[in-house]
Amino acid sequence: MPHLPFIIAAFSVTGVGMLWLTVSSYLAMRRSEALADDLRQQP
């Protein structure tokens, strides 16, 4: 059985998972923190 497709698949799964986690966590953090700061500056 050829090995390369399995290696590529395993590393891709990990890469996609990490990318999704990072992007979603970062965006949630940035959006909420920006909003919280905005609201604080309002009278």
Partner 1 sequence: MHRFANPARFLRLARPLTPALFWLGLLLALGACLWGLFAVPTERLMGDTVKIIFVHVPSAWLGMGGWMGIAIASLVQLVWRHPLAGIAARAIAVPGATFAAICLMTGSIWGRPTWGTWWVWDGRLTSMLVLFFLYLGYIALANASSEKGDTSRVAAVFGIIGAVNIPIINRSVIWWESQHQKASITLGGSSIDGAYLAPLFVAVAGFSLLFGALVLMRMRAALAEMRIDARMRRMADD
Partner 2 sequence: MAHRKGVSTTLDTNGRWWFGMKPKHQRLVLALVAFVALIGAGFIAAAALKEEASYFYTPATMAKAKIEPGKAVRLGGMVQKGSIVRGADGVSITFIVQDRDATQKVAYRGITPDLFVEGSGVVADGRLRPDGVFVADSLLAKHDENYVPKELADIDMNTAEHTKDTLSK
Residues that bind partner 1 (CB under 8 A): 1, 3-4, 6-7, 9-11, 13-14, 17-18, 20-22, 25-26, 28-29, 31-33, 35-36, 39-40
SS3 content of the chain, % helix, strand, coil (to 5): 90, 0, 10
Residues touching partner 2: how many (CB under 8 A)?
Answer: 5
Pick from 37, 38, 40, 43 the residue near partner 2 by CB under 8 A: 38
- Phi first, then psi: give them for residue 32, nearest 5 degrees: -65, -40
Pick from 18, 21, 23, 35 the residue near partner 2 by CB under 8 A: 35
Rounded CA gap, 34 and 32, in Å?
5
